[in-house]
Amino acid sequence: MHSHAPLPSTAATLVPSTVLPPVAAGHQLVALTDALLETVLAIENVAFSHPWSPGNFTDALRSGYHARVLMQGDEVLGYFIAMQILDEVHLLNITVSPIHQGQGLAHELLDALAHWSRHTAHAQWLWLEVRESNTRARHLYERYGFTQVGARKKYYPVHHGERETAILMNLPLWP
């Protein structure tokens, strides 16, 4: 005869909804792991003219940055990587797979990041930088509530040694 520990009550196993990040039905938000890294790198290389290197991702994971992947079943839809510094969270990378762009997934990723930043990191601000020429992303961030607070001249590489301005944006997380 085997001895079994009593099953916990249903109430004890439920996690309050305020702890879980908001994601659409059928989507899961999972930690970026080495097992998902190859797929994420493939998306990164298709999505950007100057993608993060495998070393950038590995360093972010080893540093303990908040790295999450939005999945539908076994398919990677998008991901983000953020770093907490005191009462601020800095969004370092957010990417939606090009075949899934235009479906509101970037907004879903931002919702999940803002939720984590408020309720787990207890941050006051969310910060990001975006290429000046990336008007699509800038409009997304503005619609989300970010405001431009500065610019970093010659920050991003472009071509042949040329550099592009980074627009610095922030979002207050608490009223």
Is 144 an annotated catalytic residue?
no
Is 129 an annotated catalytic residue?
yes
Tokens of 81: 């990587």
Q: What distance in Å separates the CA atoms of residue 133 and residue 52, rounded to the nearest whole number?
A: 18
- The identity of residue 3, as a single letter, is S
Query: Per the residue annotation, which of 88, 129, 144, 155 is the catalytic one?
Result: 129
Query: Per the residue annotation, which of 44, 65, 79, 141 is the catalytic one?
Result: 141
Q: Count CB neighbours of 20 within 10 A.
A: 12
- How far is residue 43 from each of residues 5, 40, 49, 129, 167, measured CA to CA in Å? 44, 5, 12, 20, 24
The answer to whether 134 is a known ligand-binding residue is yes
Tokens of 95: 């990417």
Residues with a known catalytic role: 129, 141
Q: Which residues are annotated as a binding site for acetyl-CoA?
A: 134
Q: Which residues are annotated as a binding site?
A: 134
